[in-house]
Amino acid sequence: MQMAGRGGSRYSGCMKNILVLGGSGFVGREVCEALSRQRWRFTVPTRRLRQLQPILNLPLLQPVQASVHDEAALAGLIAGHDAVVNLVAILHGDAAAFHKAHVELPEKIARACAAAGVRRLVHVSALGAAADAPSMYQRSKAQGEAVLQAAAQAGQLDLTVLRPSVIFGAQDRFLNLFAQLQSTFPVMPLAGADTRFQPVWVGDVARAVLQCLQARETIGQTYELCGPDVCTLRELVQLAGRAAGVNGGRGRPVLALPEALGRLQAWLMEMAPGEPLMSRDNLDSMKVDNVANGALPGLSALGITPARLAAVAPTYLGAKGLRSRLNELRRVRRRG
């Protein structure tokens, strides 16, 4: 593995016991697998142990049933670890929910790290985080960063911030969702169709986390994690449909919705039972393009060549469409 930065220095082998907050999620599972491959010990707290089922067989995993929002429990979890990785995030909710997950939790992490004498923190934020951003999600992410930066400036933390664009991978709820919807509906009504994204592969995000845990020169840095491809939302939907083999590999037609109809659609989705597919706050996020601004270092500064969307997406979306049907035909022919 290549090292980032000027000297390629490492933490003298001491970063071997990591607390992963949010380790049961999409990105968290990939990070845990990467830590396991490094043969590092890592602890993953969760309110329900069954949420860790996909990673329970990983060696050196220490599962703990606990709520990370309980500050006393969090302080006990952090003690004894060499570093903390914070991946906790929500995509939907009201202002109070975003504040709890993205601002209050970082405040608790900073206090608990100071109390336990654990300085190293890798915090995964979001591309587009800004105090004046159009969505609650983006603004709360910026507030959380500010909390941690203040603790770092006070000498309490060795902080690295990672800002990924939208993340894709085999278990994502992004391209998989678009593929699933196109397998059901003959046309895709789409709000924010012309918003540009720079999707990043989940494997590259996990590698970035590990690089930051190993390299001293990443302390104090903020990195924008983006892939090499810039695509509109319309293009991403079309790619998902084609890769999944929908409509003979052509995908479904995309119908761009005007803003008023898009907000109505999002509101109706918010009212539906369960986690919404889209919210009005998501639409607010899409008022600005989700692409790297070039002012901050990216994956290349960490020695990582980002994966192309077209190289990775068909490997998992294809299992839902044309590729899976061809594989089944091959199996039938072999049995015959």
pLDDT of residue 276: 84
Domain of 44: which CATH number?
3.40.50.720
Question: Which stretches in the chain have pLDDT values below 70?
Answer: 1-15, 319-336
Please choose, from the candidates 320, 334, 41, the residue with its C-alpha nearest in 3D space to the C-alpha of residue 170: 320
Domain presence at residue 187 = no
The phi-psi region of residue 60 (left if phi > 0; otherwise alpha if psi is between -120 and 50; otherwise beta) is: left
Element (DSSP H or E) covering residue 223: strand 222-225
Give the number of domains in the chain: 1
Please choose, from the candidates 303, 289, 91, 128, the residue with its C-alpha nearest in 3D space to the C-alpha of residue 204: 303
Domain presence at residue 21 = yes
Domain range spanning residue 217?
17-167+199-226+292-306
3-class SS at 143?
helix
Rounded to whole angstroms, how far apart are CA atoms 34 and 214? 13
Q: Which residues pair with 120 in a beta bridge?
A: 83, 158
Domain presence at residue 68 = yes
pLDDT of residue 334: 42
pLDDT of residue 224: 98
Domain presence at residue 128 = yes
One-letter amino acid identity for 83? Answer: A
Domain presence at residue 336 = no
Q: Which residues pair with 256 in a beta bridge?
A: 190
Domain presence at residue 38 = yes
pLDDT of residue 318: 84
Q: What is the DSSP letter of 4?
A: P
Q: Over the stretch 112-126, which tens digit does the pLDDT of each residue have?
A: 999 999 999 999 999
pLDDT of residue 331: 44
The two tokens of residue 22 are 């949010």
Domain presence at residue 254 = no
Domain presence at residue 31 = yes
